């Protein structure tokens, strides 16, 4: 089914990017493959009291993860959206070039000023989206009034004007592995 869907997308000129969530929940119920196989292969770092601390720093953990992802990418997909790449995984991001925030934050209600600031910085990152948890207030630009809506419009307009530059950075990231959004000391590596 998945391969057929991917082929249909390709035949229509689309690329398929699937979401992958690397956050493994410590859940001992039967049938949660990621957690079950991680326990079988003893890939978890243990806390002082012997409970699993989900971690990706050991080489055997990376090998185990590759095996889990192999089936996922075997469906003729064109890329992976590494979801939960922000501080929601609490130990936040390393080596992922296509990353960015949930505009307004994910948890709780953003204030108008906070939302406008999120939009200003988020629109300059490789990836950003409006996404928030259930039971929060509406967090679309127009929900905060005309002033915030105008700020958001300007931020998005600036983003669209810079798309050729962003695509150049995406291409370089693809070829070199360098991050798209980088600290100033990376400047010489882009020349």
pLDDT tens, per residue, the chain with 191 residues:
567 888 888 899 988 877 777 677 777 777 788 888 888 888 877 778 877 665 656 778 778 878 888 877 777 788 777 776 544 444 464 556 667 778 888 788 899 999 999 899 888 887 788 878 888 888 889 999 999 999 999 999 999 999 999 889 888 888 887 778 777 777 765 55
Q: List residues bridging with 79 in a β-sheet.
A: 17
Which domain does 187 fall in, by range?
84-191
Q: Residues 76, 89: one domain?
A: no
Q: Residues 88, 73: one domain?
A: no
Structure tokens at 75: 């469906």
Q: How far apart are CA 99 and CA 42, in angstroms?
A: 29
- Phi, psi angle pair for 164, to nearest 5°: -60, -40
Q: Residues 142, 57: one domain?
A: no
List Cβ neighbours of 108 (8 Å cut-off, separation of 6 or more): 133, 136
Q: Residues 98, 147: one domain?
A: yes
Q: Residues 111, 21: one domain?
A: no
Burial category of 13 from C-beta neighbours within 10 Å (exposed 0-12, middle 13-18, buried 19 and up): exposed
Q: Residues 129, 174: one domain?
A: yes
Q: Residues 46, 67: one domain?
A: yes
Q: Residues 69, 94: one domain?
A: no
Q: How far apart are CA 143 and CA 146, in angstroms?
A: 9
Q: Residues 69, 125: one domain?
A: no
Q: How far apart are CA 43 and CA 189, in angstroms?
A: 35
Domain end: 41, 60, 80, which one? 80
pTM passes above 0.85? no
List Cβ neighbours of 142 (8 Å cut-off, separation of 6 or more): 149
Q: What is the pLDDT of residue 19?
A: 76
Q: Residues 91, 65: one domain?
A: no
Q: Residues 49, 143: one domain?
A: no
Q: What is the pLDDT of residue 47?
A: 79
What is the count of structural domains for the chain? Answer: 2
Domain end: 47, 80, 113, which one? 80
SS (H, E, C) 62-123: HHHHHHHHHHHHCCCCCEEEECCCCHHHCCCCCCCCCCCCEECCCCCCCCHHHHHHHHHHHC
Domain end: 80, 100, 128, which one? 80
Q: Residues 90, 159: one domain?
A: yes
């Amino acid at each position: 089914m998945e391969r057929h869907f991917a082929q249909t997308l390709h035949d229509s000129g689309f690329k398929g990017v699937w979401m992958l969530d690397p956050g493994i929940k410590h859940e001992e119920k039967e049938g949660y493959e990621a957690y079950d196989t991680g326990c079988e292969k003893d890939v978890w770092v243990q806390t002082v009291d012997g409970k699993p601390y989900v971690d990706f720093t050991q080489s055997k953990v990376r090998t185990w993860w590759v095996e889990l992802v192999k089936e996922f990418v075997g469906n003729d997909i064109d890329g992976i959206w590494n979801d939960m790449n922000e501080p929601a995984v609490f130990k936040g991001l390393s080596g992922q070039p296509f990353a960015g925030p949930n505009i307004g934050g994910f948890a709780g209600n953003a204030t108008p000023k906070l939302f406008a600031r999120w939009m200003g910085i988020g629109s300059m990152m490789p990836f950003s989206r409006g996404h928030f948890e259930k039971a929060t207030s509406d967090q679309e630009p127009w929900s905060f009034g005309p002033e915030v809506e105008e700020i958001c419009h300007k931020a998005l307009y600036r983003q669209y004007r810079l798309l050729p530059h962003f695509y150049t950075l995406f291409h370089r990231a693809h070829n070199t592995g360098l991050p798209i959004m980088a600290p100033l000391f990376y400047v010489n590596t882009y020349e």
